[in-house]
Amino acid sequence: MSRNGQLDLVLVHPGTRMQVYQSLGSKLAAIEPPVWASLLATFVRKHGFSVQIVDAEAENLTPEETATRIEEMDPRLAVIVVYGHQPSASTQNMTVSGLICDALKELNPNRKLALVGGHVAALPERTLREEAADFVCTGEGPYTLVDLLQAAKSTSPDYSKVRGICFWKDGVVTSTPAAPLVKNLDDEIPELAWDLLPMDKYRAHNWHCFGDLQREPYASFYTTFGCPFHCSFCCIQAPFKTGEKEAGWKESVNSYRFWSAPGIRNIKIADEMFVLNSRHILGICDAIIERGYDLNIWAYARVDTVKDGMLEKLKRAGFNWLAFGIEAASDRVRDDVDKGFDQEVIFRTLENVRAADVNVIANYIFGLPEDDLESMESTLNLALELNCEFANFYSAMAYPGSQLYNLAMREGWPLPEKWSGYSQHAIDTLPLATKYLSGAEVLRFRDEAFHRYFSNPQYLRMIEAKYGSLTAEHIREMASQRLVRRILAAA
């Protein structure tokens, strides 16, 4: 606590599982630790401020309950951390974040409130105009929060000196110079603030635990920030761009920062692109192997970044799952969104991964700009042919912060009316239309593809042989659940 006993900062992780995932939210969807909120807490504490975290998603709090909890804690500053468990989840959390802002301001109009996250960094001025927040962070957040807290403790705060915010000044939206990126991750954010999290409430993805289905305990962390690739549908770099500009980086270059190996010790790596730098990966694997941990880890990779010598070490360290963005079967569709690699590379890499006894979760996207019914059917057929241990089927979304969003805005393409419509599983989901198909046609295909894949006898035979009858029955139960889609019901 501060010298006068007042708490300096409350960080809020928003979330409404039942709205975002419908019936899947109760038992099937993962509940992940809020990594960004925890990292921000560590950074702020290292600068001498007191902090607490309210994980509204894990505790299943309503916006009103969240606001009441904040008000009872009486912080100098409340911050809603609108980072998701993967980059696209930031936007889908904006609806509930706005409701928390409204509820908190209704309880106490004078409570200082800020928003930070990927979505708000992509659309800072719009967010400030639309939400009942005093400040919107234009970058990744750590230095901005420290500046805000220092200003809040002053007898006469001058928020124009806070780096990296949008705020109202004399009735005008005002933006301050960018805050720097955190450069030395090992020293400035050496670990997550595990002690501030309700660790007993987190659970892994169901597929992560195939063969056992014991999904708790569960933890996640980053080993890198950013991604050097430029897939046009991805919004991961949005919170880093102002900091990159402040550091003198060219706009065409994406920053990619590392933690070193010794601090790594848990089971889910949230990096958007973990399997990339051999020295980084092998250093982490060596540290885990040396400590003799018995872990069940998953991480993201690309089919063109898995190099010779990586897989044996990854498996020995406990990496039992790698997630690959296959995206589409058509070269035309992939090349159009800057995700170019040869089809042959997909088969060769996945064969090598599975030969190393590492499971594959393959990610596919239906409704990219060049998609038509024929190309989407080809993507589904590719998924059925690869027959990976698990698959995610997404509808293409123009997430704020992505190149695809900028293109959609320029072309006037229809976008969701509410931020919740950017959720893949919500009632009001509205995918991006393609050059040939409506958003409703894309969504209908996606939902049917999910059921075709997970009801496929070849897939179920593979799952039963590999993981047992209980896991196969779990998948049958999962595939039996149908999502309600407003746009399809109206068609």
Does residue 1 sit within a domain? no
pLDDT at site 225 = 62
pLDDT at site 263 = 44
Residue 20 has pLDDT above 60, yes or no: no
Per-residue pLDDT tens over the stretch 229-276? 556 656 566 676 787 677 777 777 677 555 564 443 336 677 766 777
- The verdict on 123 and 219 lying in the same domain is no
Per-residue pLDDT tens over the stretch 54-69? 999 999 899 999 999 9
- The verdict on 171 and 208 lying in the same domain is no
- The verdict on 209 and 136 lying in the same domain is no
- The verdict on 102 and 145 lying in the same domain is yes
- The verdict on 32 and 161 lying in the same domain is yes
Out of 158, 175, 192, a domain closes at 175
Phi, psi of 133 (to 5 degrees): -115, 150
Summary mean pLDDT of the chain: 86
- The verdict on 48 and 123 lying in the same domain is yes
pLDDT: which is higher, 30 or 11: 11
- The verdict on 316 and 353 lying in the same domain is yes
Does residue 406 sit within a domain? no
Per-residue pLDDT tens over the stretch 174-199? 999 999 988 888 888 888 888 999 88
| Share of residues in the chain with pLDDT > 90 (%) | 51
Does residue 436 sit within a domain? yes
pLDDT at site 349 = 94
- The verdict on 362 and 435 lying in the same domain is yes
Number of domains observed in the structure of the chain: 2
Does residue 443 sit within a domain? yes
- The verdict on 158 and 285 lying in the same domain is no
- The verdict on 25 and 167 lying in the same domain is yes
Does residue 328 sit within a domain? yes
Does residue 183 sit within a domain? no
What CATH number did the domain enclosing 84 receive?
Answer: 3.40.50.280
What CATH number did the domain enclosing 467 receive?
Answer: 3.80.30.20
Per-residue pLDDT, averaged over 48-59, amounts to 95
Out of 175, 192, 215, a domain closes at 175
- The verdict on 389 and 344 lying in the same domain is yes
Does residue 268 sit within a domain? yes
Does residue 418 sit within a domain? no
Q: What pTM does this model have?
A: 0.78
Show the domain range for 85.
9-175
Q: Would you place residue 223 in the very low, low, confident or very high pLDDT band (cuts 50, 70, 90)? A: low
- The verdict on 208 and 314 lying in the same domain is yes
